[in-house]
Amino acid sequence: MKKILAGIILLCLPVCFCGCTALVAGTAAGAGTAFWIQGKVIEQVEASFEDAAAAVKEALLELDLKITKETRTEKVVQYKGLYTDGRVFWVDVHLVSSDFSRIEVRVGAKGDEVAAGKVLSRIKKLL
Protein backbone atom coordinates (compact mmCIF):
# COMPACT_ATOMS: atom_id res chain seq x y z
CA MET A 1 0.00 0.00 0.00
CA LYS A 2 2.82 2.40 0.88
CA LYS A 3 4.52 1.73 -2.48
CA ILE A 4 1.30 2.54 -4.36
CA LEU A 5 0.81 5.76 -2.40
CA ALA A 6 4.43 6.76 -2.98
CA GLY A 7 4.02 6.05 -6.71
CA ILE A 8 0.90 8.22 -6.93
CA ILE A 9 2.65 11.07 -5.13
CA LEU A 10 5.65 10.85 -7.47
CA LEU A 11 3.36 10.93 -10.51
CA CYS A 12 1.56 14.02 -9.20
CA LEU A 13 4.67 16.05 -8.31
CA PRO A 14 5.55 17.11 -11.88
CA VAL A 15 2.02 18.44 -12.36
CA CYS A 16 2.31 20.49 -9.17
CA PHE A 17 5.55 22.12 -10.31
CA CYS A 18 4.57 22.92 -13.91
CA GLY A 19 3.97 26.59 -13.15
CA CYS A 20 7.35 26.92 -11.46
CA THR A 21 9.09 25.30 -14.41
CA ALA A 22 7.46 27.75 -16.81
CA LEU A 23 8.51 30.66 -14.60
CA VAL A 24 12.13 29.47 -14.46
CA ALA A 25 12.13 28.84 -18.23
CA GLY A 26 10.74 32.31 -18.90
CA THR A 27 13.32 33.92 -16.65
CA ALA A 28 16.19 32.04 -18.28
CA ALA A 29 14.92 32.87 -21.78
CA GLY A 30 15.31 36.54 -20.97
CA ALA A 31 18.95 35.85 -20.12
CA GLY A 32 19.77 34.59 -23.63
CA THR A 33 19.48 30.86 -23.04
CA ALA A 34 18.19 28.71 -25.88
CA PHE A 35 15.38 26.27 -25.13
CA TRP A 36 14.21 23.14 -26.92
CA ILE A 37 10.40 23.34 -26.88
CA GLN A 38 7.99 21.35 -29.03
CA GLY A 39 10.56 20.55 -31.69
CA LYS A 40 12.04 24.07 -31.89
CA VAL A 41 15.11 25.81 -30.55
CA ILE A 42 13.96 29.16 -29.16
CA GLU A 43 16.08 32.05 -27.96
CA GLN A 44 15.47 35.69 -27.16
CA VAL A 45 18.30 37.85 -28.46
CA GLU A 46 19.32 41.43 -27.90
CA ALA A 47 18.79 42.69 -31.42
CA SER A 48 16.15 44.75 -33.14
CA PHE A 49 13.54 42.94 -35.19
CA GLU A 50 15.07 44.16 -38.48
CA ASP A 51 18.64 43.29 -37.44
CA ALA A 52 17.58 39.82 -36.30
CA ALA A 53 15.65 39.18 -39.53
CA ALA A 54 18.64 40.28 -41.62
CA ALA A 55 20.99 38.04 -39.59
CA VAL A 56 18.67 35.06 -40.09
CA LYS A 57 18.55 35.54 -43.84
CA GLU A 58 22.33 35.96 -44.07
CA ALA A 59 22.95 32.89 -41.88
CA LEU A 60 20.65 30.74 -44.01
CA LEU A 61 22.49 31.82 -47.15
CA GLU A 62 25.90 31.18 -45.52
CA LEU A 63 24.76 27.66 -44.56
CA ASP A 64 23.65 27.06 -48.18
CA LEU A 65 20.05 26.53 -47.09
CA LYS A 66 17.52 27.22 -49.81
CA ILE A 67 14.81 29.71 -48.78
CA THR A 68 11.56 28.78 -50.54
CA LYS A 69 9.22 31.23 -48.82
CA GLU A 70 9.49 34.43 -46.80
CA THR A 71 6.43 35.71 -44.96
CA ARG A 72 6.52 39.07 -43.19
CA THR A 73 4.16 41.03 -40.95
CA GLU A 74 4.84 43.95 -38.62
CA LYS A 75 5.74 41.62 -35.75
CA VAL A 76 6.88 38.34 -37.32
CA VAL A 77 9.00 37.23 -40.24
CA GLN A 78 9.19 33.55 -41.20
CA TYR A 79 11.69 31.91 -43.50
CA LYS A 80 10.79 28.46 -44.81
CA GLY A 81 13.04 26.35 -46.95
CA LEU A 82 14.99 23.16 -47.48
CA TYR A 83 17.76 21.97 -45.19
CA THR A 84 20.87 20.45 -46.77
CA ASP A 85 19.39 16.94 -46.55
CA GLY A 86 16.04 17.95 -48.08
CA ARG A 87 14.04 18.31 -44.87
CA VAL A 88 11.91 21.43 -44.48
CA PHE A 89 13.10 24.11 -42.04
CA TRP A 90 11.34 27.11 -40.52
CA VAL A 91 12.94 30.12 -38.84
CA ASP A 92 10.65 32.67 -37.19
CA VAL A 93 11.73 36.05 -35.89
CA HIS A 94 9.29 37.69 -33.47
CA LEU A 95 9.34 41.31 -32.35
CA VAL A 96 9.65 41.42 -28.55
CA SER A 97 10.60 45.08 -28.08
CA SER A 98 12.64 47.71 -29.87
CA ASP A 99 15.87 46.06 -28.63
CA PHE A 100 14.89 42.38 -28.37
CA SER A 101 13.67 39.68 -30.74
CA ARG A 102 12.79 36.00 -30.32
CA ILE A 103 14.18 33.52 -32.82
CA GLU A 104 12.59 30.09 -33.27
CA VAL A 105 14.24 27.42 -35.43
CA ARG A 106 12.79 24.04 -36.46
CA VAL A 107 14.37 21.56 -38.84
CA GLY A 108 12.20 18.66 -40.00
CA ALA A 109 8.59 17.85 -39.18
CA LYS A 110 9.41 16.44 -35.74
CA GLY A 111 12.28 18.81 -35.05
CA ASP A 112 16.01 18.06 -35.06
CA GLU A 113 17.63 19.78 -32.10
CA VAL A 114 21.20 19.43 -33.40
CA ALA A 115 20.42 20.83 -36.86
CA ALA A 116 18.29 23.66 -35.42
CA GLY A 117 21.05 24.49 -32.94
CA LYS A 118 23.56 24.72 -35.79
CA VAL A 119 21.33 27.24 -37.58
CA LEU A 120 20.74 29.27 -34.41
CA SER A 121 24.47 29.30 -33.64
CA ARG A 122 25.24 30.77 -37.07
CA ILE A 123 22.51 33.39 -36.64
CA LYS A 124 23.90 34.47 -33.25
CA LYS A 125 27.39 34.90 -34.72
CA LEU A 126 25.96 37.49 -37.11
CA LEU A 127 24.20 39.54 -34.42
Task: Please give the tally of structural domains in the chain.
Answer: 2
In the chain, DSSP finds a helix count (H) and a strand count (E) of 4, 6
Instruction: Please state the pTM of the whole predicted model.
Output: 0.72
The separation between CA 111 and the C-alpha centre of its own chain, rounded to angstroms, equals 10
Same domain? For 105 and 47 the reply is: yes
Same domain? For 9 and 39 the reply is: no
* CATH number of the CATH domain containing 89: 3.30.310.80
Same domain? For 58 and 18 the reply is: no
Write the pLDDT tens digit of every residue in 37-57: 788 999 999 999 999 999 999
- Find out whether 46 and 99 touch, Cβ atoms under 8 Å: yes
Same domain? For 71 and 81 the reply is: yes
Q: Is the pLDDT of residue 17 over 50?
A: no
Phi then psi dihedrals of residue 92, to 5 deg: -110, 140
pLDDT at residue 38, rounded to an integer: 81
- Find out whether 105 and 122 touch, Cβ atoms under 8 Å: no
Write the pLDDT tens digit of every residue in 81-127: 999 999 999 999 999 999 999 999 999 998 999 999 999 999 999 99
Same domain? For 48 and 11 the reply is: no
Same domain? For 11 and 58 the reply is: no
Same domain? For 63 and 84 the reply is: yes
